[in-house]
Amino acid sequence: MAVDVRGDSDKFEVGSPRALFELHGVSIGPASIYSVSHGGQRFLLNTLLEENSSAPMTVVENWTAALKR
């Protein structure tokens, strides 16, 4: 969320809150689905690119044996 802020020596005004972006992510346990950069100018989001992804998964068994070769 963000708000516009205006202020001078006599008055302080705050605008209406508005959403910066929508999050369609997955949170695992207590982990957050976003993080804000040090300067507050960038966001790192944990979000789904496609909800119905059918990308294959490759499982490599006994991979430590290949390291010994």
Sequential pLDDT tens for the chain (69 residues)? 899 999 887 889 999 999 887 766 555 566 667 788 999 889 887 776 666 667 788 999 998 988 887
Three-state secondary structure call for residue 14:
strand
Look at residue 17 in the predicted model and tell me its pLDDT: 95
Contacts of 26 (CB under 8 A, 6+ apart): 33, 46, 48
- Return d(Cα 24, Cα 68) in angstroms, integer: 43
